[in-house]
Structure 1
Amino acid sequence: MTSQQILEKLVTFPVLGGDSNLEIINWIKDYIESFGVTTFLVPNEDYTKASLHCRIGPAVDGGVILSGHTDVVPVNGQPWNTNPFELIEKPDGNLYARGSCDMKGFLACCLSVLPKMVKAPLQKPIYFAFTYDEEIGCLAAQSLINHLKKSYIETPKFAIIGEASMLQPIIGQKSIHILDITINGSQGHSSRIKQEVSAVHEAAKIVLWAEEKMNSLIQISKDERFNPPHSSLHVGTINGGIAANIIANKATLSLDIRCLPKDNANQLHLDLLNFCAGREKLQQALFPGFKIDVVENHPIVPALNTHETSSAVNLIGKITGNYKWSTVSYASEAGHFANAGFESIICGPGSIKQAHRANEFISKEQLQKGTNMIENLVNVLENAI
């Protein structure tokens, strides 16, 4: 099967982040095993989802992991011109479907080259590592990595995470941390604003704290490789209150923190908790029931900070012809692989500009170039690296 034919199949599985992915992962499993390759499934606790990994080639150190995710983001409310879960080829040379770019295109490239992999006299192995729930916080990456490391006696050297980058090597990403904050204040008549504790007003103070914290970081910590070149704190949602003349007794907000690799996301979390504790101590004197709860929406997705002289950059250069690296401000599973000891880099077909939007597409040219990249990897691994 060609990469386009495989992609045509993969996009028919409407697996959103949080949904069961068993149907698509079992299709992938059956496809891989039809070539005589042993696969391993890594299920979640209730066996409704599973990651997959396998090895093609010899059990020797120094191999390359090819990693991607099987889930996609929702389409509800987006103005699609076609069925988002059907691959539509248009005269403009693009292939339209949800996940075509992010990132089933990369999976299709990997799977289409599998027949060549199993026949090639590989001197170093290739591993597939496909996850679930990447789109809601990279929730499966760590369990997959742990299982992969326990399953093989040898140790892979590289991890290529195939997020859309137009096949440019990406050596850095910011971490991401999302916190859901609930504020419990006291309800009352708006004329008593100084005798009650407004949850909405307290929410506003947290927004101002986040803005001031970000501005202070801009002054002391920058990395010009990134855009923006600083860590960011952003309140994306805020809700509370029922009427203008009623003091709000509840408010909620979500805080998105994206940290440079050199900044400490855990410390920012602690700084927020300390600020909230200070507000509680102050306002509980007025209303003893005042409380601010801070809950992780998902664990921290770690940053990626691969050095520009890493041999991973040289490897990508060999298989794409592109040695010019860049960085991104979005998060991916690359940080997890890097923290596990693999030289990690992001490189995949398609443009991130197409991800998460209506009428998502990958060009046929990029899909072919992605396939060529994997074929070139096979050629490189026929010799020791």
Structure 2
Amino acid sequence: MSNINTVEDILAKLISFPVLGGESNLSIINWVQDYIESHNVTVHMVPNEAGNKASLHCRIGPAVDGGLILSGHTDVVPVEGQDWDTNPFELVDKGDGKLYGRGSCDMKGFLATCLVMLPEIVKANLIKPIYFAFSYDEEVGCLAAPDLIEHIKKTYAETPKYALIGEPTLMEPIVGQKGIYILETAVNGSAGHSSRIKQEVSAIHESARLILWLENKMNDLIDTGRIDNRFNPPHTSIHIGQFKGGIAPNVIADKASFFWDLRTIPMDDTESIIAEFDAHCRTREQELKAIYPDFKIKTVEDHWPVPPLDTKETDDVVSIIKKISGHSKVNTVAYASEAGQFKNGGFQSVICGPGSIIQAHRANEFITKDELKKGMKMISKLIIEMSHPDFT
């Protein structure tokens, strides 16, 4: 680790690991483990069942209640099909104040600021502990966070109170996010000649009716006042992103399916919306079995639901993050992150980190050097706050 001295050195190393969501992250997580342990900090690994992926967490400071977790993920989204000017997995400085590379913004920039500040955290006379919690598979559904959170709660005798999820927000504290649930609905109808459309059950026609039901459900939520103006759009959204079915224009489709995502504002309940849709599907099955006894509608999750975040502005964590981030106003986002999972795990949670979400997931992703400095300054201020006898 002797040649790893600056935040740019660390960011370059992190970006050099081309770990996509869903793939093994052992290369990057083992490097991070070695780096942390080189500073005499004990690291706890949280492997998946297959043993090809792992999250990690560690504590720096005293074993007392009331600490704060710095949380981030190690995986990134694919680069295939994107028009990159440089090697995505090599940190490139073009001299324009920006550092280019996949994950530079989302969210290896934040990880780099945590790691480069580790020596300062270790040296500090902390009154309350600071924890690192780094996960895998965030980009494919926030899959690892629940196990990581439970492992943290079981490992330490003390209880952390706060969590800062360092997604790129331009250092603006984010107190709300929408939840997300992605599902696939498959319809099994009867094949036949297109002239017999009234005597058969078209899987495509029935899928279209289900899609219309979902759109109407979204509109009903809006019309009944299910509005949260902190978000844009200010309501729960239901969107169908993929559809497949049919083999020819003159053949009634016996099979069709569609993928859809449900993005809920905090006041709406994902489970109740799914239950209502499922009840409608069971009703349609009973109605159409008279025409085709094997008619069936089946909905399965593409990945499990990610809960929304709804942190009260009066929660202690908000004033803490406002103070260390330098931003006095809070905001919300429509994208999902692990923040809602940490909140449900019992930690007051806020999203705040360097970089802009506008740069995430696109070709020529970058983070500015100035944003990295701001991220380091935030952690420096956190160290001061958590070294103060009057820390909340």
- TM above 0.5, one fold? yes
Identity of aligned residues (%): 61
| Alignment counterpart, residue 63 of structure 2, candidates 59, 62, 66 | 59
Q: How does 1:1-385 map to 2 (within 5 A)?
A: 1-220=5-224, 221-384=226-389, 385=391
- Deviates further, 143-152 or 307-316: 307-316
Query: Contact 1:58 / 1:122 at 8 angstroms: preserved in 2?
Result: yes
Query: Contact 1:174 / 1:303 at 8 angstroms: preserved in 2?
Result: yes
Alpha-carbon separation, structure 2, partners of 1:19 and 1:129? 19
AA at the equivalent of 2:192: G
AA at the equivalent of 1:105: G
TM-score, normalisation: structure 1: 0.99
AA at the equivalent of 1:23: S
1:283 to partner: Cα distance? 1.3
TM-score, normalisation: structure 2: 0.97
Alpha-carbon separation, structure 2, partners of 1:204 and 1:114? 54
1:312 to partner: Cα distance? 1.1
Alpha-carbon separation, structure 2, partners of 1:198 and 1:359? 45
Alpha-carbon separation, structure 2, partners of 1:50 and 1:289? 43
AA at the equivalent of 2:386: L
Deviations 1:270-291 (A, max 9, x none): 1111111111111111111111
**Structure 1 residue ranges (4+ consecutive) displaced by more than 3 angstroms after TM superposition:** none
The DSSP-based 3-state class of the residue aligned with 1:55 is: strand
AA at the equivalent of 2:380: E
Alpha-carbon separation, structure 1, partners of 2:41 and 2:363? 36
1:357 to partner: Cα distance? 1.0
Alpha-carbon separation, structure 2, partners of 1:223 and 1:246? 45
Alpha-carbon separation, structure 1, partners of 2:87 and 2:287? 54
AA at the equivalent of 1:253: F
The DSSP-based 3-state class of the residue aligned with 2:119 is: helix
Query: Contact 1:37 / 1:56 at 8 angstroms: preserved in 2?
Result: yes
Query: Contact 1:68 / 1:106 at 8 angstroms: preserved in 2?
Result: yes
Alpha-carbon separation, structure 2, partners of 1:248 and 1:306? 47
The DSSP-based 3-state class of the residue aligned with 1:263 is: coil
Deviations 1:76-97 (A, max 9, x none): 1111111111111122211111
1:161 to partner: Cα distance? 0.2
Query: Contact 2:173 / 2:325 at 8 angstroms: preserved in 1?
Result: no
Deviations 1:215-253 (A, max 9, x none): 000112101111111001001111111111111111110
Deviations 1:182-227 (A, max 9, x none): 1111111111111111111111111101110000001121011111
Alpha-carbon separation, structure 2, partners of 1:194 and 1:92? 65
1:264 to partner: Cα distance? 0.5
Alpha-carbon separation, structure 2, partners of 1:93 and 1:203? 50
Query: Contact 1:185 / 1:248 at 8 angstroms: preserved in 2?
Result: yes
Alpha-carbon separation, structure 2, partners of 1:71 and 1:309? 33
Aligned residues: 385
Alpha-carbon separation, structure 2, partners of 1:4 and 1:197? 60
| Gaps in structure 2 of 5+ consecutive residues | none
AA at the equivalent of 1:278: T
- Deviates further, 32-41 or 292-301: 292-301
1:3 to partner: Cα distance? 1.3
The DSSP-based 3-state class of the residue aligned with 1:370 is: helix
AA at the equivalent of 2:294: G
The DSSP-based 3-state class of the residue aligned with 2:117 is: helix
Alpha-carbon separation, structure 2, partners of 1:278 and 1:77? 43
1:37 to partner: Cα distance? 0.2
Deviations 1:116-154 (A, max 9, x none): 111111111000000001111111101000000111111
Query: Contact 1:98 / 1:359 at 8 angstroms: preserved in 2?
Result: yes
The DSSP-based 3-state class of the residue aligned with 2:199 is: coil
Alpha-carbon separation, structure 1, partners of 2:245 and 2:85? 36
Alpha-carbon separation, structure 1, partners of 2:285 and 2:99? 53
AA at the equivalent of 1:256: D
Query: Contact 1:316 / 1:323 at 8 angstroms: preserved in 2?
Result: no
